[in-house]
């Protein structure tokens, strides 16, 4: 028997599609405010959005009747027929968001149309109106969503850590900040004001306004090292900003694509971005991008996904080609190094256009030697943990001593990944990343344990500008970062003054990357919040990677550093650092014997 589903069950099903997590609630509310023509939007959340999410705007507002209607499914003021669907100029159009959110929370809507004398308040619990009446509030709308998923505990269990959920909330806000440039935004995360942005003055170009918003949310340094993108075609236009060829990030988070003003996630667009940097970006590094595509609406389908994050293009290949060409010409046309460098000012690690390499500074052996000279009494720099079990040794090396005494002569690099080395008539193949990572890991460990100098104070401290979520995580892990050698001093809500860096990294140019990479990985829970894990990750981020071309001196440095290690045989993740080509193997293969 076919039965019509009860209305509250329908609501629950729809809620599941639209309301996955706090960030999806926030997205719908902010988009409604923008659709209502708001000029100022105030957002706040508590407990990563689980306790409350509030969005207040100064937009059109609703009459009490409209407000009641807005809470019914498929009630929307935005489209009335199927024809409208192809040319949607608003964010919302399905009329499902408010009822879906109200079905899974304690919900309050206070709204007052422009020109009305008072506001109207409606309170809903688990989808049922529980209170309604006049209220005092300025024109506009305020929606408050408390105890999200209180009646669907299974959904609560699916949420990620607070840090991750907060990151997603911030992302929603950033999406809106970049797209809605004439709107003022004020954001409070857990009671702290994290963003307070005014619209740019009248007459500011969209490019300038966007760049200013990038600076205020992602940091001045990001905004200073971008290239302008602009291309106009017959059916589409693209404009925005992407990293210049010398600047890259340890995570892919700072990339935003908009299609007709709507933030989207689309694999081909991301692909086109990375393609433009082909051969200029190390593996594991990511460009920054904020790109707006304007495409004839009849060639885009936005009604693919309930949360409208996905779009479909009627001719994907053309969009891809168009974007690729635009990005490539931005990168090749605009390599204005001198200007970019001036703007970067005194930040560390940006001093040359060359990619930062790991051990351009002194080798571990040299650092230790220097320390020996400096340290009057101190602890023994090389712990006396000597002979290792046979199974842990490699090649012909029966002990740590023989490994340390070996003379390694690097011959060349292979595939930008391995170092071919001759030693006592034998051929060895070192994995450059595994070897460098092992050495740096031990250096960092020694620094933390007082066996090597820990911190290099900076004569010229620099300011590390970050997003609110990065700031929060850095504050949370300040003790570990300090233990590693960083000296960070809070500098406003979203910046730190960096007064010292790990001495073992010195001027390697990676001090900032490591800091950012670590915090990103902690936020995305790629690594656990434990000292050991953080240390291993720092070593990984600070070391030559597979794919990095190395000079002979750098290869020598890696080998020398590895020779002073306590456990040179494997990287901190357990991969071998080198292999030996069996003596006689070549002769046997060429049938010389």
Residue numbers at the binding site for Mg ion (CB under 5 A): 32, 92, 97
Are the beta carbons of 103 and 15 closer than 8 angstroms?
A: yes
**Interaction residues for ligand ADP, span 1-30 (CB under 6 A):** 28
Length of the chain: 593
Q: Is 36 in the site for ligand ADP (CB under 6 A)?
A: yes
3-state DSSP call for residue 457?
strand
**Interaction residues for ligand ADP, span 281-320 (CB under 6 A):** none
Q: How far is the CB of 158 from ligand ADP (least distance, A)?
A: 23
Q: Is 144 in the site for ligand ADP (CB under 6 A)?
A: no
Residue 94 or 556 with smaller CB distance to ligand ADP: 94
**Interaction residues for ligand ADP, span 122-141 (CB under 6 A):** 141
Name every residue whose Cβ is closer than 8 Å to that of residue 243 and which is 6 or more positions away in sequence.
225, 226, 227, 249, 277, 287, 288, 289
Q: How far is the CB of 356 from ligand ADP (least distance, A)?
A: 47
Residue 375 interface partner, choices ligand ADP, Mg ion, none, CB cut-off 5-8 Å depending on type: none
Q: Is 33 in the site for ligand ADP (CB under 6 A)?
A: yes
Residue 101 φ then ψ, to 5°: -70, -45
Nearest to 561 by CA among 364, 366, 424, 332: 364
Rounded CA-CA distance 147/107 in Å is: 9
Angle at 148 between CA 40 and CA 252, to 5 degrees: 65
DSSP codes of every residue in 259-318 = ETTEEE--HHHHHHHHHHTTTTS-TT-B--EEEEEEE-GGGEE-TTSTT----EETTHHH
Q: Is 77 in the site for ligand ADP (CB under 6 A)?
A: yes
DSSP codes of every residue in 391-419 = GG--TT--SHHHHHH---EEEEEETTTEE
Choices 73-81, 115-123, 309-317, 494-502 (CB under 6 A): range interacting with ligand ADP: 73-81
Q: How far is the CB of 536 from ligand ADP (least distance, A)?
A: 45
Q: Is 78 in the site for ligand ADP (CB under 6 A)?
A: yes
Rounded CA-CA distance 510/543 in Å is: 9
Compute CA distances 461 → 246, 347, 474, whole Å.
22, 9, 17
Rounded CA-CA distance 128/476 in Å is: 40
Residue 45 or 403 with smaller CB distance to ligand ADP: 45
Q: Which residue is nearest to ligand ADP (CB)?
A: 92
Q: Could you give the count of Cα atoms lying within 13 Å of 37 in the half-sphere of its Cβ? A: 9
Q: How far is the CB of 349 from ligand ADP (least distance, A)?
A: 44
Q: How far is the CB of 109 from ligand ADP (least distance, A)?
A: 8
Residue 50 or 94 with smaller CB distance to ligand ADP: 94
Residue 22 or 92 with smaller CB distance to ligand ADP: 92
Q: Which residue is nearest to Mg ion (CB)?
A: 92
Residue 70 interface partner, choices ligand ADP, Mg ion, none, CB cut-off 5-8 Å depending on type: ligand ADP
Residue 266 interface partner, choices ligand ADP, Mg ion, none, CB cut-off 5-8 Å depending on type: none
Query: How many residues form the binding site for ligand ADP (CB under 6 A)?
Result: 22
Residue 62 interface partner, choices Mg ion, ligand ADP, none, CB cut-off 5-8 Å depending on type: ligand ADP
Binds ligand ADP by CB under 6 A, chosen from 93, 218, 441, 486: 93
Rounded CA-CA distance 444/189 in Å is: 34
Choices 31-39, 290-298, 446-454, 503-511 (CB under 6 A): range interacting with ligand ADP: 31-39
Q: How far is the CB of 29 from Mg ion (least distance, A)?
A: 8
The pair of structure tokens assigned to 479 is 């003790």
Rounded CA-CA distance 347/324 in Å is: 31
Q: How far is the CB of 576 from ligand ADP (least distance, A)?
A: 56
Q: How far is the CB of 572 from ligand ADP (least distance, A)?
A: 49
Q: Is 97 in the site for ligand ADP (CB under 6 A)?
A: yes
Residue 94 interface partner, choices ligand ADP, Mg ion, none, CB cut-off 5-8 Å depending on type: ligand ADP
Compute CA distances 577 → 31, 228, 367, 392, whole Å.
52, 42, 22, 12
Q: Is 436 in the site for ligand ADP (CB under 6 A)?
A: no
Compute CA distances 188 → 27, 44, 61, 191, 503, whole Å.
15, 5, 22, 6, 37
Q: How far is the CB of 27 from Mg ion (least distance, A)?
A: 9
Q: Is 92 in the site for ligand ADP (CB under 6 A)?
A: yes
The pair of structure tokens assigned to 264 is 């989207």
**Interaction residues for ligand ADP, span 252-281 (CB under 6 A):** none
3-state DSSP call for residue 59?
coil
Q: How far is the CB of 172 from Mg ion (least distance, A)?
A: 13
Are the beta carbons of 44 and 332 closer than 8 angstroms?
A: no
Residue 57 or 561 with smaller CB distance to ligand ADP: 57
Binds ligand ADP by CB under 6 A, chosen from 10, 20, 85, 95: 95
Binds ligand ADP by CB under 6 A, chosen from 24, 44, 76, 121: 76
Q: How far is the CB of 265 from Mg ion (least distance, A)?
A: 19
The pair of structure tokens assigned to 506 is 């010195």
Q: How far is the CB of 154 from Mg ion (least distance, A)?
A: 25
Rounded CA-CA distance 53/144 in Å is: 6
Angle at 323 between CA 524 and CA 171, to 5 degrees: 25
**Interaction residues for ligand ADP, span 51-70 (CB under 6 A):** 57, 59-62, 70
**Residue matched to tokens 């850095």:** 474
* Contacts to ligand ADP by CB under 6 A: 28, 32-33, 36, 57, 59-62, 70, 75-78, 92-98, 141
């Amino acid at each position: 028997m076919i039965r019509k589903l009860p209305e509250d069950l329908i609501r629950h099903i729809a809620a599941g599609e639209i309301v996955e997590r706090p960030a999806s609630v926030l997205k719908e509310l902010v988009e409604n405010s923008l659709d209502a023509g708001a000029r100022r939007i105030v957002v706040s959340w508590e407990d990563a959005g689980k306790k409350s999410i509030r969005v207040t705007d100064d937009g059109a507002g609703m009459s009490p009747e409209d407000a009641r209607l807005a809470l019914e499914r498929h009630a929307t003021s935005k489209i009335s027929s199927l024809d409208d669907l192809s040319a949607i100029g608003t964010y919302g159009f399905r009329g499902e968001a408010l009822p879906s959110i109200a079905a899974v929370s304690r919900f309050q809507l206070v709204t007052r149309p422009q020109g009305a004398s008072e506001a109207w308040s409606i309170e809903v619990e688990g989808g049922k109106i529980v209170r309604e009446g006049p209220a005092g509030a300025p024109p506009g709308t305020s929606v408050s969503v408390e105890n999200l998923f209180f009646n669907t505990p299974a959904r609560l269990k699916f949420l990620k850590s607070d840090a991750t959920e907060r990151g997603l909330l911030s992302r929603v806000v950033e999406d809106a900040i970049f797209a809605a440039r004439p709107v003022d935004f004020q954001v409070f995360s857990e009671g702290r004001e994290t963003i307070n942005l005014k619209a740019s003055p009248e007459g500011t170009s969209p490019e300038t306004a966007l760049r200013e918003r990038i600076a205020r949310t992602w940091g001045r340094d990001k905004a200073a090292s971008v290239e302008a993108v602009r291309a106009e075609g017959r059916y589409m236009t693209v404009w925005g900003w992407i990293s210049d060829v010398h600047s890259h990030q340890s995570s892919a988070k700072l990339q935003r694509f908009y299609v007709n003003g709507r933030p989207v996630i689309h694999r081909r667009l991301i692909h086109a971005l990375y393609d433009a940097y082909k051969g200029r970006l190390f593996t594991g590094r990511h460009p920054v991008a904020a790109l707006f595509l304007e495409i004839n609406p009849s060639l885009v389908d936005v009604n693919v996904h309930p949360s409208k994050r996905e779009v479909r293009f009627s001719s994907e290949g053309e969009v891809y080609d168009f974007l690729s060409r635009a990005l490539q010409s931005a990168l090749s046309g605009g390599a204005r190094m001198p200007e970019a460098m001036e703007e970067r000012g005194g930040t560390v690690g940006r001093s040359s256009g060359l990619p930062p390499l790991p051990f351009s500074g002194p080798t571990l052996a040299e650092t230790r030697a220097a320390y020996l000279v400096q340290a009057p009494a101190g602890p023994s720099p090389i712990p006396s943990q000597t002979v290792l079990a046979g199974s842990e040794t490699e090649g012909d090396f029966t002990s740590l001593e023989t490994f340390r005494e070996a003379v390694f002569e690097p011959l060349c690099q292979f595939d930008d990944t391995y170092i071919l080395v001759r030693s006592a008539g034998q051929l060895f193949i070192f994995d450059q990343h595994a070897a460098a990572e092992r050495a740096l890991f031990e250096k960092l460990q020694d620094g933390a344990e007082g066996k090597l100098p820990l911190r290099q104070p900076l004569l010229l401290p620099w300011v590390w500008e970050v997003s609110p979520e990065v700031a929060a995580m850095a504050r949370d892990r300040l003790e570990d970062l300090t233990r590693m050698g960083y000296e960070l001093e809070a500098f406003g809500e979203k910046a730190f003054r960096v007064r010292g860096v790990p001495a073992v990294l010195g001027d390697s140019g990676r001090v900032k990357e490591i800091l950012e990479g670590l915090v990103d990985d902690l936020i995305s829970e790629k690594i656990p919040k434990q000292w050991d894990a953080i240390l291993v990750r720092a070593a990984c981020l600070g070391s030559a990677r597979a794919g990095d071309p190395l000079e002979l001196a750098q290869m020598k440095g890696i080998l020398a550093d590895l020779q002073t290690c306590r456990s040179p045989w494997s990287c901190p993740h357990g991969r071998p650092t080198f292999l030996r080509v069996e003596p006689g193997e070549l002769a046997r293969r060429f049938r010389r014997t």
